[in-house]
């Protein structure tokens, strides 16, 4: 039964409903001739078995569910999607497998039918499993070939509590342990409607989406066990030796979760301190003025239960220690707040980036689905922009004094990949 849930609406029509046990949120862009679906399924890496018991099954499942579904084998399923021009992809993350698909509005019912087959009736054939395993093993073996990515994963292993500390690519023993039978059983157990979320953006009304899904999802029931924290984060310092002419470093700082009232304040601070291209403090002070590194930047990931700010820097071994010390100096200086000019430039950059990213239907579909998971409701683009407009330099600088105090910075963690520890 279609159960409508009231939701705040601002500039763009946005509706949320329940189709069975699954929340569906639809943002109608009436002038658009296309529609994008982002379907989140509670099959993330945090719920994988440990190591040889099958760690990496979510990464394999994200690949194998694309290789045949319903009555169609891999080729026929791919051809059916191509025939209606569906651009699609799957990705495994900490909490979900995300299926993203875009097509012309008139093909939405057929696309939803095919996506439902992928979710409810994946074939998970033996050939598909072996191909997915080969790809997963190749990906796992190549992780160290990208040290910037690898050091961020090393940081994640010490800043997140178990089981959320795993990088998601599995282990060799875990990937080799996955079988056709175990993957089929895992998918049937984990890919349930309670915990799944769908976001839809484009030239379609919510009632149309709801009517299409009611029949397709009829009889789909159950929920997956949600992963729970089993051990606290290790924190501190992690080092992995890699013979190289470069040293890669990543500092991790505890940050607000998405539903925290300070999350937008933190986004602005991150933009001024280390985001937004070259117009930030870290780039100016560490790279340009002192020439200590060839790359430096800061990111912010805000989840439902926790948030993390990470600062990456790539340097030479002889300059690595000075690079870290300079970054730490800029973090301490941030406690003094930002200037009026920095604030105004940061607001403009944050707002323009939010709006431009929101013009991509795939980004918006993922954003509103993610909002349901992280904050419990979907926010319109206008609402997010209003949150940015509500920021003041006084509130930002008050936040800086707290977030970058000596006490707060003392909890920072450090990951290093290179020839020598720092």
pLDDT at 2: 40
Q: Which two tokens stand for residue 413?
A: 């963690």
pLDDT at 278: 83
| Exposed/middle/buried for residue 291 (C-beta within 10 Å: 0-12, 13-18, 19+) | exposed
Q: How far is Cα 166 from Cα 25, in angstroms, rounded to an integer?
A: 30
Model confidence pLDDT, tens digit, residues 223-264: 989 999 999 999 999 999 999 999 999 999 999 999 999 999
pTM of the model: 0.94
Instruction: Scan for tokens 């009632």, then name that residue.
Output: 207
| Exposed/middle/buried for residue 218 (C-beta within 10 Å: 0-12, 13-18, 19+) | exposed
* Closest to 249 (Cα-Cα) out of 279, 293, 188, 207: 293
Measure the N-to-C terminal CA separation of the chain; round to a whole number of Å.
Answer: 59
Q: How far is Cα 296 from Cα 298, in angstroms, rounded to an integer?
A: 7
* Closest to 193 (Cα-Cα) out of 214, 215, 218, 221: 221
Mention the CATH class of domain 237-418.
alpha beta
Q: How many CA atoms lie within 13 A of 90 on its CB side?
A: 20
Instruction: Scan for tokens 């329940």, then name that residue.
Output: 18
Q: How far is Cα 283 from Cα 298, in angstroms, rounded to an integer?
A: 10
The stretch 174-199 carries a mean pLDDT of 98
pLDDT at 12: 65
Peptide bond into 111 cis (omega under 30): no
Q: How far is Cα 60 from Cα 369, in angstroms, rounded to an integer?
A: 23
pLDDT above 90 coverage of the chain, percent: 94
The stretch 337-346 carries a mean pLDDT of 96
For residue 223, the tally of other CB atoms under 10 A from its CB is 13
- Whether 2-216 shares its CATH topology with 237-418 is answered yes
Across all residues in the chain, what is the average pLDDT?
A: 95
The stretch 389-396 carries a mean pLDDT of 97
Q: How far is Cα 83 from Cα 70, in angstroms, rounded to an integer?
A: 17
pLDDT exceeds cutoff 90 at 7: no
Q: What is the DSSP string of 329-343?
A: HHHHHHTT---HHHH
Are 265 and 314 within 8 A, CB to CB?
Answer: no
- How would residue 276 be classed by pLDDT, with cut points 50, 70 and 90? confident
- How would residue 8 be classed by pLDDT, with cut points 50, 70 and 90? very low
| Domain limits, the chain | 2-216, 237-418
- How would residue 201 be classed by pLDDT, with cut points 50, 70 and 90? very high
CATH topology (fold) of 2-216: Cytochrome Bc1 Complex; Chain A, domain 1 (3.30.830)
pLDDT at 13: 77
Model confidence pLDDT, tens digit, residues 57-67: 999 999 999 99
The stretch 82-97 carries a mean pLDDT of 98
Q: What is the DSSP string of 367-387?
A: HHHHHHHHHSS---HHHHHHH
């Amino acid at each position: 039964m279609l159960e409508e849930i009231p939701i705040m609406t601002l500039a763009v029509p946005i509706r949320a409903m329940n189709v069975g046990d699954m929340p569906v949120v639809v943002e109608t862009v009436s002038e658009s001739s296309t529609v994008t679906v982002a379907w989140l399924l509670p099959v993330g890496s945090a719920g994988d078995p440990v190591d040889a018991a099958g760690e990496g099954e979510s990464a394999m499942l994200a690949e194998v569910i694309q290789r045949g579904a319903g009555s169609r084998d891999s080729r026929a399923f791919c051809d059916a999607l191509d025939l209606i021009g569906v651009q699609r992809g799957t990705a495994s993350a900490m909490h979900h497998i995300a299926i993203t698909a875009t097509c012309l509005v008139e093909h939405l019912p057929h696309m939803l039918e095919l996506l439902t087959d992928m979710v409810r009736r994946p074939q998970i054939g033996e050939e598909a499993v072996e191909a997915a395993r080969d790809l997963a093993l190749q990906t796992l073996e190549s992780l160290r070939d990208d040290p910037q990515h690898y050091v961020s994963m090393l940081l994640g292993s010490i800043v997140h509590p178990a089981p959320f500390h795993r990088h998601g690519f599995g282990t060799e023993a875990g990937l080799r342990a996955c079988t056709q039978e175990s993957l089929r059983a895992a998918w049937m157990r984990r890919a349930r409607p309670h915990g799944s979320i769908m976001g839809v953006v484009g030239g379609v009304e919510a009632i149309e989406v709801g009517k299409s899904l009611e029949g397709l999802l009829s009889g789909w029931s159950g929920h997956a066990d949600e992963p729970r924290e089993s051990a606290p984060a290790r924190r501190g310092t992690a080092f992995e030796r890699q013979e190289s002419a470069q040293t890669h470093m990543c500092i991790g700082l505890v940050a607000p979760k998405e539903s925290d009232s300070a999350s937008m304040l933190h986004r602005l601070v991150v933009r001024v301190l280390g985001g937004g291209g070259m117009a930030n403090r870290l780039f100016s002070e560490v790279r340009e003025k002192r020439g200590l590194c060839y790359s430096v930047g800061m990111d912010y990931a805000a989840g439902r239960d926790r948030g993390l700010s990470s600062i990456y820097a790539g340097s030479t071994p002889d300059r690595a220690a000075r690079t870290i010390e300079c970054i730490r100096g800029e973090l301490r200086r941030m406690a003094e707040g930002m200037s009026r000019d920095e604030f105004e430039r940061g607001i403009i950059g944050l707002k323009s980036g939010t709006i431009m990213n929101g013009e991509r239907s795939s980004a918006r579909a993922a954003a509103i689905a993610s909002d349901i998971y992280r904050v419990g409701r979907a926010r319109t683009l206008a609402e997010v922009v209003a949150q940015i407009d509500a920021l003041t330099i006084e509130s930002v600088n008050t936040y800086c004094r707290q977030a970058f105090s000596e006490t707060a910075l003392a909890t920072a963690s450090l990951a290093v990949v290179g020839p020598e520890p720092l």
